[in-house]
Amino acid sequence: MIIKKNYADMMMPLTDEERAELEALKDTEPVPDEDCPAYSLEELREMKKITEERKAERCKQSVTLRLSPATLAKARSLGKGYTSILSRIIENALNDPDTLHNSL
């Protein structure tokens, strides 16, 4: 899939040299290569389907969890994103049979 952008819409200002390079390339056709092959519409549809399936698998659910004040203070001391860290800790603990057994 080829996406064309107008360099006037770019966030960073361009130098005169960069503008000249882009102007020279304006009318050339892009050439797919092994790093960026051309995909058919069917291949793109399949990729979209797979992406949406994986997104559904990764979708997190909101839950209510009661924690002791000390545990919550330690978690919050981890800074912004502490809830994601707690999620990973819980997931790792549930996947480790020894930790799981010791916590029961």
Stretch 67-91: mean pLDDT: 94
Strand partners, 33: 36
* Two structure tokens written together for 66: 């009661």
Q: What share of the chain is helix, strand, coil (3-state, %, to 5)?
A: 60, 0, 40
CA 97 to the chain's CA centroid: 30
Flag whether pLDDT at 3 surpasses 70. Answer: no
pLDDT at 30: 79
CA 79, 85, 90, 96 dihedral sign is negative
Flag whether pLDDT at 15 surpasses 90. Answer: no
pLDDT at 87: 92
Q: Which is more confident, 99 or 26?
A: 99
Flag whether pLDDT at 10 surpasses 80. Answer: no
Q: Which of 8-22, 52-66, 74-88 has the lowest mean pLDDT?
A: 8-22
* Two structure tokens written together for 73: 């203070």
- Output the pTM of the full model: 0.48
